[in-house]
Amino acid sequence: MKVLLQRVIEARVSVGGQVVGEIGPGLVLLLGVAQGDLREDAQYLVEKTVNLRIFDDPQGLFNLSALDVKASLLLVSQFTLLANTRKGRRPSFVDAAAPEDAEALFNCFVAQARATGLKVETGRFREHMLVDIHNDGPVTIILDSEERKKPRRPPHPSPHP
């Protein structure tokens, strides 16, 4: 599961000319669900997102989290985050989860985000959306749940061959 998050002053998502989700200061999360992703991936990314210190403290340093500043979240499903562009000129989306599986995990992510107590708005799954993002900073970060499976530091080479 991948999340592209952007710190925003405000953002909204529209479907068919109607606003379906809108936030003030907070984070926009574009969420891509991959084949094989689990509820644990959603939980990991929700926890990482709401606790990531990317909001300014009074000295202008990244010391505050979304929880600290009571940020709002706008969650938008975005399977194109799983694009494979290695070969050819047309992106392949074979790594993206099937729509039914992706929707279930997107809804799981939304529920877990709401459980944090933050205001959560969403787009509409499998709809053509227009997303209006007023990026603040700009601050844009990519999170990938595969990172949780990797060691925090590469293993040190053995002193003995």
Token pair listed for 66:
């979304």
- Count the neighbouring beta carbons within 10 Å of the beta carbon of residue 102: 23
Q: Is 140 a catalytic residue?
A: no
Contact 3, 142 (CB under 8 A): yes
Task: Fill in the amino acid letter for 82.
Answer: L
- Count the neighbouring beta carbons within 10 Å of the beta carbon of residue 51: 12
CA distances (Å), origin 21, targets 4, 75, 129: 18, 9, 11
Which of 49, 80, 116, 140 does the annotation list as catalytic? 80
Token pair listed for 54:
């990317």
Query: Which residues does the annotation mark as catalytic?
Result: 80
